[in-house]
A and B are shown apart, each in its own frame.
Chain A
C-alpha cells in the first residue's frame, strides 16, 4: 500500500520519488503524481488504485518552523498553567504585584498632567533609547540603591523581560553557553531556549549562587575551550528561590567577571522590596558598569501594566542592544514613559514602595506561618528577606507537575519547579508567590496544598511500607532559618538511583 507522510509533500512538488517521509529512517515510496486540479495525489500501486489527499493541516507548516521553535517546553505544563487563571483558583503561581492599593487619584493626576502638558508627544513615536525624562526617573530609582549610571548608557525597554531577550539576541549564537542560577527565573527559560543557548545552571544555597561551583564550572568550560557569553543572575530575593546572594559572593562574582572578562546580566526587579536585614550592594555598583549589565524595571515598584524596564550596559554592547530594540519594536511606549515621569514628579514614589513593602512583609510572614502549620515535615522551603517568592522542595517521589493537576482539583495553583530548569531538574520543587493574594487566600491556599502533599506523602509511605517514618504534621513555626535551595536530581539520575 502506498503512503505518504502527512504534509511532507506539496502540490506541484517537483522532487523526484521516492519521497522521504518526515519519519526518520523510513522511506515512503509512492508511484503517483499530484493532480493540480484536485491537489490530490493519484496513482497506481500494484493492482490497487489509490487516491490520497494532501493534508491541509498545520503539519504542512511543520517544515516551515525555525529549528529554535522545536526546543519549546512541554505543552502539558502550559495547559495546566492556563487553568490557573480561572477565577475560583487561588493562584500562588503568578508573579503578580498587588496593584489594588495604588491610589486612583494619583493615577488620574498623572494622566491629567500628561494630557494637559504633552498630549501630542505622548501620542507620538519616541527615540528608541527612551525619553530623557524617563531616564531621569531611572537615575532616581538606581540612586536609591547607590547606583549611578550615565543617561547615555541607559536604554528604556518594554518591561524587564525585553532586556533578557535583547541581551540574548545580542550575544547568543546557537549552542553558546549562558550561565544561570539553578533554579532560574522561569520567564528567562523560553528566552534562552529560543536563542538555542546551552544553559549551565549553578546550584544555590541560602546565600545565593555558589560562586565556588561557578568557578569550577568555568574551569571545566575552559578545558572544552568554551567561553560563556554571559552570566544571568537575580542576586536579590531571587525569582524563584527567594534567596539573596551574600556580600562576599557578590564581590567574588564581580572579581571573577573581571579576571575572566565575562559579562554578567544582573536582573534586579525586587531590590527595593526588602522586608528585613541590611541592604547589599548591587553587582553593578561593585563593578562600576564594566562587566555588569544592569536590568531594572518599574513593574514591581510601580506597575507591570505600564511595561517599562531598562538596561544599562557598556556602550559597545548597548549600541547593539539599541539596534535590536529598533528591530523589535522601534521604541518603548511614549505614553507610559510620560506617565511615569508625571508620577515621579509627584515625589511620592518611595512612599508607595514603602507601603508595598509593608503589605508584602505581612503576606510573606503569613505564608511562612502557613507552611509551618500545613506542610509535612519532609518538606523544606526558603525564607526570603524580600521579593515575591518562596521556593519549597518536597520529597523526590512527588512530581510537582502532577501535584499541580491534583491541587487544581482543589482550586489552588503554584508554579512547578521544572519550569525553572532547562535540564529536567526541579521536579519536586515549587515556586510560591505571596504578593498577589491577600493573607486569607494565602493561608487557605497553603492549607490546601499542604493537605494534598500530606496525602501523597502518606500514600507513598503506604506503597513502600514505610508508614512508620511518617509523622503527623506539627507546626514548625519559628524553626530557625530557611532551608537551602535543594537541587533535585534529574529524571535520569533518579532512574539510575532506583536501579539496584
Chain B
C-alpha cells in the first residue's frame, strides 16, 4: 500500500469539478487501503508536497495548471511519480490548436479551423481576414478558446454579426482562440484506459436549443448512452481514431477523446482531454462501468500505471 497525494481544486475555472473528482478518488484510494493526503493546489503546494513526501501523486485537477502540464512539470522537478499523461502530452492536448495541427499532419480527421491570438487582431489586422474565414467555414461557426477544458466560452456564431462578440467572449478565457467548422451530428466520447478504448458514450442533449452549450453536460438536460448505439462500424472506427489520437499526443494512463459523428457517418476528432472528469456524472467512469471496470478498480489501475512509468520501477 502506498502513500498517495491526491491533488485537486486549484485556481482553474473547473475547480468545483476537480474538487468532486478528487474527493471521489480519495475515497476509492482509501477503500483500496492506501494512505491518502488530499491537497487543494494553492500557493503552498510545493511545501505541502514536501511535507507529505508521497510515493505517488494522483492528479485530479482539470483545466488550467492541472491539465496543461504545469503540475506535471512541478512533480517532475520534485521527483514524485504521478498519474496520467506527462508534461508534453498535456501541453499538446490542452492547446486545442496545437492538437488539431498534429491531427491534421497525422491524417486524423478534425473539423477545419483557423486560429488566432489576440495580437493578430490588434496588431496584424486579422479582422480583415474574417470574411474569408467565414466564407470558407460556412455558418454556423464554432468559436472556442484554445485552452479551456469545459464548455465555458464556446459560442456558436450563426451569422457574420455574431462573430466579433463570440471572439470577445472566447478571448475572455484564453489569448488564443479558434474558429471551427461546425459538424452537425452526434456527440461521442471515447475514454481510454492504458491505451485501450472503453465503450463509446453518446451525449444526447434534451434541450431543444441547439445553441445551448451550457446544458450539454448537465444532468437532467443531457442524457448519456453507453455503449452508444451507432450505425455500422462507427464504434470500431471511433475506437481506432481515439486510440490513434491518444498515441499521437503521447498520452499515458488514461484520457478522453471527444468526437462528432456526422450524418454521412464520418467521424471527426474535436479534442483530447488528458485528465477527464472523475465525478459521479463524468463520462470516463461511466464508460469504465460499461466495460465492467468499477470505479475503485479504475482508480487502482491508473495508480499502478503511474508506478510502471516511474524511472526505476520494475518493468
Which A residues form the contact surface with B (CB < 8 A)? 1, 3-6, 21-24, 26, 28, 40, 51-53, 55-59, 62, 65, 69-70, 72, 74-76, 78-80, 82-83, 86, 397-399, 402-403, 405-406, 408, 456, 459-460, 462-465, 491, 495, 497-500
- Whether A65 lies near B220 (C-beta < 8 A) is yes
CB distance from B142 to the nearest CB of A (A): 15
CB distance from B226 to the nearest CB of A (A): 5
- Whether A59 lies near B281 (C-beta < 8 A) is yes
- Whether B13 lies near A80 (C-beta < 8 A) is yes
- Whether A403 lies near B289 (C-beta < 8 A) is no
Complex alpha-carbon distance, A459 and B175, angstroms:
12
CB distance from A299 to the nearest CB of B (A): 26
Selected from A22, A65, A499, the residue in CB contact (under 8 A) with B223 is A22
For B64, the closest partner residue in chain A by CB is: A409
Which residues of chain A are within 8 angstroms of B185 by Cβ–Cβ distance? none
Complex alpha-carbon distance, A339 and B228, angstroms:
60
Given contacts A405-B173, A500-B159, contact A70 B11 (CB under 8 A): no
Which residues of chain B are within 8 angstroms of A76 by Cβ–Cβ distance? 150-152, 214
Q: Does B194 contact A (CB under 8 A)?
A: no
Complex alpha-carbon distance, A22 and B286, angstroms:
15
Which residues of chain A are within 8 angstroms of B291 by Cβ–Cβ distance? 53
Complex alpha-carbon distance, A1 and B11, angstroms:
43
CB distance from B239 to the nearest CB of A (A): 13
- Whether A55 lies near B289 (C-beta < 8 A) is yes
Selected from B13, B122, B128, B130, the residue in CB contact (under 8 A) with A79 is B13
Q: Mark B288-311, 1 if CB is under 8 A from A, else 0.
A: 011110100000000000000000
26 contacts between A and B (CB under 8 A): A3-B229, A5-B225, A23-B202, A26-B229, A53-B292, A55-B286, A55-B290, A57-B289, A58-B280, A74-B218, A75-B214, A75-B218, A79-B17, A83-B13, A397-B165, A397-B168, A402-B152, A402-B153, A402-B168, A402-B173, A405-B153, A406-B173, A459-B121, A464-B127, A495-B162, A498-B159
Which residues of chain A are within 8 angstroms of B221 by Cβ–Cβ distance? 70
- Whether B164 lies near A62 (C-beta < 8 A) is no
- Whether B227 lies near A460 (C-beta < 8 A) is no
Which residues of chain B are within 8 angstroms of A402 by Cβ–Cβ distance? 152-153, 168-170, 172-173
Q: Does B163 contact A (CB under 8 A)?
A: yes
Selected from A40, A59, A78, A406, the residue in CB contact (under 8 A) with B286 is A59
Complex alpha-carbon distance, A53 and B235, angstroms:
18
| Contacts of B50-98 to chain A: CB distance below 8 A | none
The 9 closest A-B pairs by CB, nearest first: A498-B161, A406-B172, A463-B164, A3-B229, A58-B280, A402-B172, A402-B169, A22-B223, A397-B165
Which residues of chain B are within 8 angstroms of A398 by Cβ–Cβ distance? 165, 168
CB distance from A83 to the nearest CB of B (A): 6
- Whether B152 lies near A405 (C-beta < 8 A) is yes
Which residues of chain A are within 8 angstroms of B2 by Cβ–Cβ distance? none
Given contacts A6-B289, A402-B168, 5 further A-B pairs with CB under 8 A are: A21-B223, A22-B204, A28-B225, A79-B13, A79-B16
Which residues of chain B are within 8 angstroms of A5 by Cβ–Cβ distance? 223-225
- Whether A465 lies near B127 (C-beta < 8 A) is yes
CB distance from A441 to the nearest CB of B (A): 19
Which residues of chain A are within 8 angstroms of B211 by Cβ–Cβ distance? 491
- Whether B171 lies near A79 (C-beta < 8 A) is no
- Whether A463 lies near B168 (C-beta < 8 A) is yes
- B residues contacting the other copy or chain, number (CB 8 A): 60
| Contacts of B10-51 to chain A: CB distance below 8 A | 11, 13-17
- Whether A40 lies near B16 (C-beta < 8 A) is no
Complex alpha-carbon distance, A6 and B288, angstroms:
12
Which residues of chain A are within 8 angstroms of B153 by Cβ–Cβ distance? 402, 405
Complex alpha-carbon distance, A164 and B291, angstroms:
47
- Whether A86 lies near B204 (C-beta < 8 A) is no
Which residues of chain A are within 8 angstroms of B226 by Cβ–Cβ distance? 3, 6, 55
For B43, the closest partner residue in chain A by CB is: A88
- Whether A1 lies near B224 (C-beta < 8 A) is no
Complex alpha-carbon distance, A53 and B294, angstroms:
10
Selected from B127, B167, B172, B289, the residue in CB contact (under 8 A) with A56 is B289
Which residues of chain B are within 8 angstroms of A51 by Cβ–Cβ distance? 292
Q: Does B276 contact A (CB under 8 A)?
A: no
Given contacts A74-B214, A495-B162, contact A23 B225 (CB under 8 A): yes
CB distance from B222 to the nearest CB of A (A): 10
For B217, the closest partner residue in chain A by CB is: A75
Selected from B161, B162, B173, B224, the residue in CB contact (under 8 A) with A6 is B224
Complex alpha-carbon distance, A79 and B206, angstroms:
22
Q: Mark B205-238, 1 if CB is under 8 A from A, else 0.
A: 0100001001101111101111111100001000
- Whether B281 lies near A57 (C-beta < 8 A) is yes
Complex alpha-carbon distance, A398 and B121, angstroms:
17
Q: Does B274 contact A (CB under 8 A)?
A: no
- Whether B290 lies near A6 (C-beta < 8 A) is yes
Q: Does B147 contact A (CB under 8 A)?
A: no
For B215, the closest partner residue in chain A by CB is: A74
Which residues of chain B are within 8 angstroms of A69 by Cβ–Cβ distance? 220
- Whether B225 lies near A498 (C-beta < 8 A) is no
CB distance from A451 to the nearest CB of B (A): 13
- Whether B289 lies near A53 (C-beta < 8 A) is yes
- Whether B281 lies near A58 (C-beta < 8 A) is yes
Which residues of chain A are within 8 angstroms of B201 by Cβ–Cβ distance? 6
- Whether A57 lies near B172 (C-beta < 8 A) is no
Complex alpha-carbon distance, A52 and B200, angstroms:
13
Which residues of chain B are within 8 angstroms of A40 by Cβ–Cβ distance? 292
Selected from A21, A62, A495, the residue in CB contact (under 8 A) with B225 is A21
